[in-house]
Structure 1
Amino acid sequence: AAEKKAAEEKAAAEKAAAEKAEAEKKAAAEKAAAAKKAAAEKKAKEEQAKRDAIRAAMRGDALGAAGIAGGTADRNQSGGGGTDSGYAALVRKCIRDGVVYPTPPRSGSNPTVQYRANLDSSGHVTGVRILRSSGIPAFDRAVESGIRGCNPFPKPPTGKYPSYVDGNYLMYDQ
């Protein structure tokens, strides 16, 4: 009887050990599945963020090409390109207020400075780059100074500042 009892206890202990090992194996598999799911979700979020960034860049370029404020190539900065928006007028006025340059009487062409103003999230100018010179260095410097003086830029209708704004500054209004 003692041997039978010992054999039953041994069988029960082996069964408990097997159940414990199975439970640990199941827990490890669940943990691995959760980690795999988390990695897949992270990858999906990163891919969505990339798609959103591309979409935003394409939208900005399209808006700018159409002369709508908020685009990254605002051809409407100083009267060229078609329709004007209230925001482009605000930006133009802000920059114009800071441009100190003795404008000569118009004779022929309209010197234009193409620029990029880098902005932080609160609209403050963090850098200015002249993309294309007007051919008049003093005028280019005056425009750059006017852009730096427009600090912060007027708040866009969307309420969110882009990381940069490209524009044209014309010496003479059209």
Structure 2
Amino acid sequence: MQNKQIDHVHGVPYSVPRERSRWPSLGLALAMHLGLLFFLWIGVQWQSTEPVAVEAEVWDLKVQTAAPPPEVATEPEPQPAPPPTPAVAEPAPPPPPPPPVAAPEPKVDLREAEIALERKKAKLKEEKAAEDARKKQEQQDREETKREQDKQKQKEKEKADKLEKEKADKLEKAKQAKDKELAQEKAEAQAQKDQEQKEQAEKKAAAEKAAKAKKAAEQKAADKARADEMSRITGAVGTGTTGTAAKATAPRMDSGYVAAITTKIKSNIAYSGSTDVPGAPRAVYKIEQLPTGEIISVRKIKSSGLPAYDNAVENAIKKSSPLPKKKDGTVEREIEAVFDMKDLPK
């Protein structure tokens, strides 16, 4: 069963009116929104400009309260209109409240503002001077701290240098003591070496002296033997001819020349056999030489009966080349030399 709405005013059934076209209502809504956006933009632009505020310090015995900053009037945002309802009359919107009236700005005395400004500048100057004095004091404190640190470092450095110097002095003294000890040991060793060298030199001098004495004795014995030989062989060397006369008519040979040749040859005889043999073994050799004294031939004329002795004499003759010369520098072409075993040194 379907219920019908009844109009109680007129007493007749309520009927839904016919729906009209929606375009007028849409246009009105769009116009209302555009208007609302416009008013919002105006309000934002108007509120973006801040009022200029002037601050001043007023020095007076009376306590005054600063005026409050001016209030900025703000327009209340309009509410969006509700969509129209069909056949219902809406009441007219209330008018917007009037904007608040800004309070009048208080009048400022320029003279007092200048005085306050000068005082503020003086205060800032004093604060700056105090800040500069504080910075200067801090700088001085830093410099003083740095000087103290440098002084402490210098003391530590001097102390370290002193310790290093003492250490170096100790090392130097130890080195000097060691060098002195080494020098003393070296001097003692050198003295001992010199003493040994001196003893060796004395022994050597004594040996040389003994050798010289022995050589002098041998030379004396050789001279005596040479004299005896000269007295014995002068006639044999000078008379070595094949003539029948009782005496030779040829000139006699220089006895000193013959003795010099015989002595040199005898000094080169190296005979290791025994000289204590019966009889008087004698070897006779004929020697031919050049004008320079060089021996060119050695011929045995008479053997001593001892081959070893004969060979020793022959080797000594060859070893004695060149033979000594006469005082005038000449030599005899041929010489017969006689070598007795008894004349050998014992």
More strand by share: 1
TM-score normalized by structure 1?
0.50
TM-score normalized by structure 2?
0.26
Q: Which has the higher contact order (CA 8 A, sep 6+)?
A: 1
Bigger Cα Rg: 2
